[in-house]
Chains A and B, each alone.
Chain A
Amino acid sequence: MTAITSLPRRAARFGGPTYDERNALVLIAPLATVLFAVAVFPILYSFYISLYGLKLTRPHRVPFVGLENYVTVLTDPQFWEAVGRTAAFSVMSVAAVAVIALLAALLLNEEFPGRRVLSAVLLVPWAIPYVANALMWKWIYDSNYGALNGLLYQLDFINSYMVWLGDADKTLALIANAFVWKEVPLAVILLLVGLKTIPADLYAAAKVDGANALQRFLHVTLPALKSSFALVIVYETMMAIRHFDLFFILTEGGPGDASHVVAWRIYVETFRNLNFGLGAAMSYILALATLALAYAVIRALAQRI
């Protein structure tokens, strides 16, 4: 009897897996394998590559260069210009997404006939592929036959067709517009979640207290939306910083360097110059910056709430 009974005791004492933990392990194993192989490993491998001078143009000589790639990237003024463009693009985009999404969410939060149709329509931009979105806006912005020119011309805002994407002063804003158009729906849905959690009593109470519509919006609606807004801003910032598709299709970083953002730079360095080590170093810097940003925002919010 004592021989048998010592078994379970020992398992428990020394913190071996319990039978349910073994079950959990089996159920999670496939996910763990996939994520390890295709997420964790690449992330670590990326760091490893970034320490080497790996160039596909000379695949047989791969010198260890330590942090040299990082130094190269961080001391390159062009890199910092790209960072500036990424920042400008992100700030523009996120601000526009936040404002437009707030207005749309306020509209969709009202009860009126046709609301259902509008909320279905809302999903259209969300669902279409970025490539199709890019193609669509490229056609709209077209300097010869585009709808933007056509519309402005018909409305007499312009006397002759203009160059849009090809104009370095406008490029970033126009790309941001295409980005915003596709990102607004998700932001609206996230904000609607926040709006739905505001109890109707709160509005009634504010009304009784004599608050007008604007005051109710400022003192009831906006505070309640704080955490939804935070989510929207964190998520959209992350999306904007990493965005690639529109830059690839609309401008390829041009005209000149006008839309040469960090994501585009990584692509060019890696797949056009085939300088994998440098590309990996830049990727790592971007990833760390994203992580730091996400962490900072979340920390700041956690303290606030």
Chain B
Amino acid sequence: MARITFKAVTKRYAGDVVAVRDLDLEIFDKEFVVLLGPSGCGKSTTLNMIAGLEEVTEGELWFDDEIVNTLPPHRRDVAMVFQSYALYPHKSVYENIAFGLRMRRVAAEEIDRRVRDAAAKLEISHLLQRRPSQLSGGQRQRVALGRAMVRQPAVFLMDEPLSNLDAALRISMRAEIKHLHTAMQTTFVYVTHDQAEALTLADRIVVMNDGVIQQIGAPDDIYERPRNTFVASFLGNPPINYLDGTIEGADGAVSFRRGGMRVALPPALAARLRGSPGREVKLGIRPEDVSRHGLGAETPAMEGIVDTVLPVGSDRFLGLKVEGCDVFVRVDKQAHHREGEPVRLALVPERLHVFDKASGLSLLADGAP
């Protein structure tokens, strides 16, 4: 049970690699926070700083009301699950799970109780006497979870814990981890580069890139109101489409224009952009935010030529050429488009994203340029 606060934290590795730059972040007690970003963006570094495995170069790291910058990991009440599981090869499963408690001089009966309890919860009771090398990947994963669980730590850290599992197992483990968080009532910090994991697990997501926080927010918030093109692109699969164009119109109707295409912007955006005709922007359209229905004369719409058709189970994806741009959209299964055909799709005005072309910042966000 702890609140973790980063105040202007920078981490610099030898050779002046800045892994994390000027990080400000508050993780609340009992919260499930996911650090999300591409490989090399500084997620693990951030997590390791919480664990004490990496030292803060500049700034302050607080646990509740205490600065822990120089507190070594064994004095911090944290537990961690690693991508490679990092089980001790020379110890049995039982001893692997018990090790952290032994190091903290917990009484023997208490250790035994907690180990068996955790093993039962994770359904690995029958494996306790085995060595890690005799376990499957999924079983090792459970042992690693057990080792962290029995510690009943103030902070539970996980660094891509599911990345080494196969797809099916990954999805079922997601649910278990979510369940674990509810049961343990403690602060979870979870690192992943998999947006689907982040979206299912997190109370709040912290999106990072190049050592800098891009956006912090609830999953829906991040998905629906990305602050910049990086966040918008990183979340969503298939990714969001961009059309470069300019703002047009003055008084009443403000619209986006690219070549022959003109999209009237919803009032909120229109109000912001009224004063800047000719401004260069990117229009962001998520693949699922189009519809074959509700096409009226007034509704914003997009016209293009069907380039590819990809039926994928419940859905159908279309690759379109729109004003010289490739656009990928999802339509319902009933749509029977053929390649080379022209198509017209309605856009949902409230779900359109507009970004400044130069800075990539969203024009919808608070304090937008």
Contact = CB atoms under 8 A, between A and B. Distances in A.
Contacts of B56: 8, 12
Interface stretch (A13-21, A34-42, A239-247): A13-21
A4 B55 CA distance: 17
Nearest to A6: B60
A60 interface: no
B72 A8 contact: no
Given A5-B60, A8-B60, A18 B55 contact: yes
Nearest to A5: B60
Interface residues of B, number: 10
A9 interface: yes
A19 B72 contact: yes
Contacts of A19: 55, 70, 72
Contacts of B194: none
Band of interface residues on A: 10 to 19
A174 B282 CA distance: 84
A86 B55 CA distance: 53
Interface string B41-70: 000000000000001111110000001011
A9 B55 contact: no
A210 B97 CA distance: 58
Contacts of B70: 8, 11, 18-19
Interface in B52-93: 55-60, 67, 69-70, 72
A9 B67 contact: no
Contact of B58 (A4, A13, A20): A13
B64 to A, nearest CB: 13
B67 A12 contact: no
Contacts of A11: 70
Contacts of A20: 55, 72
A13 B58 CA distance: 7
Nearest to B7: A5
Contacts of A4: 67
**Listed residue (B56, B59, B67, B69) with the most chain A CB atoms within 10 angstroms of its CB:** B69
B17 to A, nearest CB: 15
Nearest to B12: A12
Contacts of A13: 58
A4 B284 CA distance: 47
Interface in A38-70: none
Nearest to A19: B70
B41 to A, nearest CB: 22
Nearest to A9: B58
A27 to B, nearest CB: 14
A9 B10 CA distance: 11
Contacts of A18: 55, 70
A20 B69 CA distance: 12
A242 B235 CA distance: 66
Nearest to A4: B67
Contacts of B57: 12
Interface in A260-283: none
A170 to B, nearest CB: 56
A266 to B, nearest CB: 42
Nearest to B61: A8
A5 B55 contact: no
A3 B59 CA distance: 14
Nearest to A1: B67
Nearest to B8: A9
Nearest to B68: A8
Nearest to A20: B55
A4 B70 CA distance: 12
B8 to A, nearest CB: 10
A209 to B, nearest CB: 40
A12 B58 contact: yes
A19 B54 CA distance: 10
A197 B59 CA distance: 48
6 contacts: A4-B67, A5-B60, A8-B69, A12-B58, A18-B55, A19-B72
Interface of A: 4-5, 8-9, 11-13, 18-20
Given A9-B60, A20-B72, 20 more contacts: A4-B67, A5-B60, A5-B67, A8-B56, A8-B60, A8-B67, A8-B69, A8-B70, A9-B58, A9-B59, A11-B70, A12-B55, A12-B56, A12-B58, A13-B58, A18-B55, A18-B70, A19-B55, A19-B72, A20-B55
What are the 4 closest A-B residue pairs judged by CB atoms, nearest first? A8-B69, A18-B55, A12-B57, A19-B70
